[in-house]
Amino acid sequence: MRSDDARVLVLEVITLAHPMIYQLKQEQQLPISLEQAWEFFCDPNNLDKITPPDMKFQILSGANQRMHEGQIIHYNIQIAPGIWNQWLTEIKNVHPLESFVDEQRAGPYKLWHHKHSLEANENGVLMIDQIHYALPFGLLGDLVHKLYVRKKLQRIFDHRVSVLKEMFPE
């Protein structure tokens, strides 16, 4: 069995065992070139710039290189007041000037698959974030999603929109 087949089977098992896989998709037009956008998003140190300050984002390791296939980034975040969590993500499916994926290897989610895409157009670059995620703890996790996680994720991505508008004004 190829490793790609194994990955698909694992996702199918997760889907069957936990049918509540959520999706968040957000698009933002940036008035910059494709090369500028790729350069910015390929630097793991820029994550801190676009993450809300109250999350107290800290990269612990893996940010000393430009983003590349197989890169592991280890960081610490405050997911709620007084509640810290370490996250380990792997960079996968890197297509220069087009897209890359970060997948959680360890952290607060049962499943986290975040595809970052960039599409050049007449106004600059359309940035697309598409996230598929699931929470642990079955029905309790689903309740926590409804009451907290969905709003928190949307707030994080709304913050990114605001910061990127300031960083790359029209």
Domain range spanning residue 134? 3-167
Token reading at 62: 């893996």
- Nearby residues of 6 by Cβ (< 8 Å), 6 or more positions away: none
Q: What pLDDT, on a 0 to 100 scale, did the predictor assign at position 19?
A: 60
- Nearby residues of 11 by Cβ (< 8 Å), 6 or more positions away: 111
- The predicted model scores a pTM of 0.85
Looking at residue 91, which CATH number applies to its domain? 3.30.530.20
Q: What pLDDT, on a 0 to 100 scale, did the predictor assign at position 139?
A: 87
Task: Summarize pLDDT for 31-60 with one digit per residue, the tens.
Answer: 999 999 999 999 999 999 999 999 999 999
Q: What pLDDT, on a 0 to 100 scale, did the predictor assign at position 57?
A: 93
Strand partners, 112: 133
Total domains in the fold of the chain: 1
> H/E element holding 24?
strand 22-30
Per-residue pLDDT of the chain (170 residues; tens, 9 = 90+): 334 433 333 333 344 444 689 999 999 999 999 999 999 999 999 999 999 999 999 999 999 988 999 999 999 999 888 889 999 999 999 999 999 999 999 999 999 999 999 999 999 999 999 999 999 988 898 899 899 999 999 999 999 999 999 999 98
The residue written with tokens 């194994």 in the block is 6
